[in-house]
Structure 1
């Protein structure tokens, strides 16, 4: 696979975390350019199996390059449906699941997709190009209160209320349909010398809403305990605190939010055990080759036998 499409972040650490058995069954729920998948396939024997998910049509094209591997099955679907599609393929439990969350290098670098702040393009931001909602549609139709909420919640924008009001006033004059048009509004409200980070926060908020990223992640994580057999591994790469928090909570507490409920004996259900005390991060060598790995946090967990703690 060409790494110009997508440079796999922490590839070796991900594979080590999966503790791959040559005859095991694995799932890569974020195929992207196939970098992680190809490396995983190379460690499987003829009895092994890899199922890869991605809703992006461009990723489906990349997946065709791995069609020569008889162990490989690509599923063009959102990974929120992981359980449903695995059952359709006769799979009830697997030995490991890998999730590399966020946007692929290819999606960022394809200007017309509208993910990047570096080039002017339509404000699309759909990972599934057949989906109905675009970022431009969000900016056109969402109320000021809704914009305030998503900018604060998903972008952690400090002046979210002020910016939401500015966006509504701006769209009354002309549609905000392109990257340049959005940046023209943002520039007036961005902190001095921190414009790039501010733009990125707003783009992140819009992207999360367009792709329902937090809902998808929560649905996926809610299925992992039943899909991974005892002793199997859950390996998740996240790129911002909103993604990392529910992953961390699932591993440490057995719940995505809040505190676990205990039974009358003080026990609670905790299906995973962290393999490392802290998340793994990219070293300086990888950061030099792939700056997008800078914010990556890798968590690895082992599925416990009974999950009772």
Structure 2
């Protein structure tokens, strides 16, 4: 069934407009048109991108990963009409090869990664991802495990708080904000996003607050990344995802902030470059590029996409195609013992 409808899943469909869906489908098409193709949606969310793939390519199977059990449940309901063409798995995207091994899938033809916080997490006020509404300081993408943003704010040393804000939020007033947090928690532990917003606003000079958007935006980004170890997971996930690709397969990544996009750019550039020393007269096959860049630099949303989906404003999309197997000296070590 190419175009199933599922009234019970309208909630997820209405709450989530997938970013650059048509462009993602266009970039993936040469790989997914192969009979028996399998794609991994590494950041399933509410299933918008996966639904687009399943509708457009009626022979494709999609394995959807997400660290958020609520996302898996909502997406699975939305995608139930596609039957066994969709498999949802509760996992972080750096576990991609482990998941595929468990499913007896040796390689896939496509990988899609839509990074950052999902529509589900932003829209669920009680998750604490948004600085626009007061909520508990949680920010966990998997709310079943791990420390919360409140734990970070109330237990980290001042210098470590400043490092997190500076490194992950690129916040130039990180020391001032960290000092204000430590001073406030000496009276009572921080528990609500509203408290944090007020602290950040007071710590940033008035002139700086007048430009650059909401003054707490960078602090909330930094805390979210720290709580969920996002950049550590992404650093592992990018090479793992390339290794999961069959020759001719394609990987498409959508990033929403400069730290993520820089990591994607570097990972793709590594695979698309000759790895031999520059003075070698002949480049051995084992040092030839194993990726081909499909996009020229990072693509951004056009006016039509921005009008349709305001959350696409900061997206940077990159894609690459697998040309050959990765040379041994660049291949990531396996995550599991043999």
Q: Per-residue deviation at 1:261?
A: 5.5
Q: How does 1:139-154 map to 2 (within 5 A)?
A: 139-154=153-168
Q: Could you say what secondary structure the match of 1:301 adopts?
A: strand
| Structure 1 gaps, min length 5 | none
2-structure distance, mates of 1:260, 1:205: 35
Q: How does 1:1-309 map to 2 (within 5 A)?
A: 2=10, 3-19=13-29, 20-21=32-33, 23-46=36-59, 48-62=60-74, 63-69=76-82, 70-190=84-204, 191-194=208-211, 196-254=213-271, 262-263=276-277, 265=280, 267=283, 268=287, 270-306=289-325
Farther-moved stretch of structure 1 (56-65 vs 268-277) = 268-277
Q: Per-residue deviation at 1:195?
A: 7.1
Q: Per-residue deviation at 1:260?
A: 8.2
Considering only CA atoms, is the larger Rg found in Structure 1 or Structure 2?
A: 2
2-structure distance, mates of 1:53, 1:307: 24
Spell out structure 1 runs of 4+ moving beyond 4 A.
Answer: 266-269
Change (3 A) 1:67 1:88: same
User: Are the counterparts in 1 of residues 292 and 320 from structure 2 also a CA contact under 8 Å?
Assistant: yes
Q: Could you say what secondary structure the match of 1:197 adopts?
A: coil
Change (3 A) 1:149 1:269: farther
1-structure distance, mates of 2:88, 2:38: 14
Q: Per-residue deviation at 1:44?
A: 3.2
Alignment TM-score, normalising by the size of structure 2 = 0.85
2-structure distance, mates of 1:302, 1:209: 31
Q: Per-residue deviation at 1:78?
A: 1.3
* CA RMSD across the alignment: 2.1
| Structure 2 gaps, min length 5 | 1-8, 328-338
2-structure distance, mates of 1:261, 1:145: 39
| Structure 1 residues 45-103: Cα deviation after superposition (integer angstroms, max 9, x where no partner) | 34x32100012122122112312322111111111211101100001211010000011
